[in-house]
């Protein structure tokens, strides 16, 4: 849960899915930019049902920042209705080289 990891120690991996008007509004590009700014790795892609999903990995405190961004901000034209996070776990080291936009 969120409280247990609030100290932000270690590296975490979290899957996410963002609902709302998030396709065709440069959402993936902005997510990639924000993740890179925070020094995070992972990926982002559009789904066939109109959402954007992906995985983010990095220092817990930075991952929290991206989670807040995915919940509340997004790209300038987006309208986020909600963001869901799942499969949160501590990992020894990031499993991705960088943060990619997948087709």
Please tell me which residue in 37, 46, 64, 79 is annotated as part of the active site.
46
Q: Using CA atoms, how far apart are residues 93 and 13, in angstroms rounded to an integer? A: 9
Contact 41, 58 (CB under 8 A): yes
Q: What is the pLDDT of residues 15-69, one digit of tens each?
A: 999 999 999 999 999 999 999 999 999 999 999 999 999 999 999 999 999 999 9
Q: Is 79 a catalytic residue?
A: no
Contacts of 24 (CB under 8 A, 6+ apart): none
pTM: 0.89
Q: Using CA atoms, how far apart are residues 47 and 49, in angstroms rounded to an integer? A: 5
Question: What structural domains and CATH numbers belong to the chain?
Answer: 26-94 (3.30.70.100)
Q: Is 87 a catalytic residue?
A: no
Please tell me which residue in 28, 53, 64, 82 is annotated as part of the active site.
28
């Amino acid at each position: 849960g969120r409280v247990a990891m609030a100290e932000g120690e270690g590296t975490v991996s979290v899957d996410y899915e963002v609902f709302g008007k998030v396709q065709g509004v440069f959402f993936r590009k902005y997510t990639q930019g924000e993740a890179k700014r925070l020094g995070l790795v992972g990926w982002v892609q559009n789904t066939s049902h109109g959402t954007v999903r992906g995985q983010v990995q990095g220092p817990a405190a930075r991952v929290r920042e991206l989670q807040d961004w995915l919940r509340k901000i997004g790209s300038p034209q987006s309208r986020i209705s909600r963001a869901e996070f799942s499969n949160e776990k501590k990992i020894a080291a990031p499993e991705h080289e960088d943060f990619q936009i997948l087709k």
